[in-house]
Amino acid sequence: MKLITALSLILLLFVQSACGPLAYKKTDAKKVSADPKKRVEKNLTEGRGFRLSDAMKGNNNTYSFASSNPLWKATLEILDFMPLVSANYSGGIVITDWYSEKDNPNEFIKITVKFLTNEIRSDALDIDIFIKECSQNSFNCSIDKKNNALVAELSLNILKKAAVYEKEIIKQQKSNPYKFSKPKRRDKKKKTE
C-alpha cells in the first residue's frame, strides 16, 4: 500500500512539473504585429494554431461535418421520401429501406448510394437500385438489380442539388469570411411601459 501511495505521489509530481511549458507567457506588444493575418501566419508556422477554411481550398476532400458536404446533403434531401436503413457519413454510404407506393403494393424499391469522392462530378456516386416484385400472397418475391435510366436520373438530380448547395456555400464564404456573433446581454432587464 505504501508503494502504491509513493508511486502515486511521484506520478502526481511528475504531471505537475509538466505544466511549466503550458503556463502563460508575457509577450511584448512591440514584437507582435498588429495585422491579424500576419499573427495567424506566425502562429501557424510555429505550430500553435490551425485554420478552418483550409478544407475549402485546393483538393482537400475532408469535411468536419456531414452537413458541410453538399453531395451528402443533396443525397439525403433527394431520398427524403424513403425511410433510411443506414446513413453512414464516415463510411460514405446511404441505404434506404424497401419502399412501395400505394398504387403498386407488390413492387418495392431499395436504393444504395456509395460516395466515391466528395467532389461534385459525374463519377462521384455509385448508385444501385434494387426492385423486389412479389406475388399477391407476398411470399413469392424476386429481387433484381436495375441500373437503368432511373439511376442516371437520380444521379443527375443529386449532382444538380449538390451544385446548388456548393454555390451557396461559396457565396456565403465570399460575402462574410469571418463569422462573428453578437453576444446577447442577459443582465439588462426589459423596460415595460
Query: What pLDDT, on a 0 to 100 scale, did the predictor assign at position 184?
Result: 62
Give 69 or 180, the one with higher predicted confidence: 69
- Residue 91: all three cell numbers together: 463510411
Query: What pLDDT, on a 0 to 100 scale, did the predictor assign at position 63?
Result: 40
- What predicted TM-score, i.e. pTM, was given to this entire model? 0.55
Provide mean pLDDT across the span 6-14: 78
Q: What is the pLDDT of residues 34-65, one digit of tens each?
A: 677 776 666 666 655 545 554 444 444 444 45
Query: What pLDDT, on a 0 to 100 scale, did the predictor assign at position 137?
Result: 72
Query: What pLDDT, on a 0 to 100 scale, did the predictor assign at position 125?
Result: 92
Q: Which residues lie below 8 Å from residue 52, measured CB to CB, with a gap of 6+?
A: 64
Q: What is the pLDDT of residues 110-119, one digit of tens each?
A: 999 999 888 8
Mean pLDDT of the chain, nearest integer: 76
Find out whether 97 and 108 touch, Cβ atoms under 8 Å.
no
Q: Where are the domains of the chain?
A: 66-175
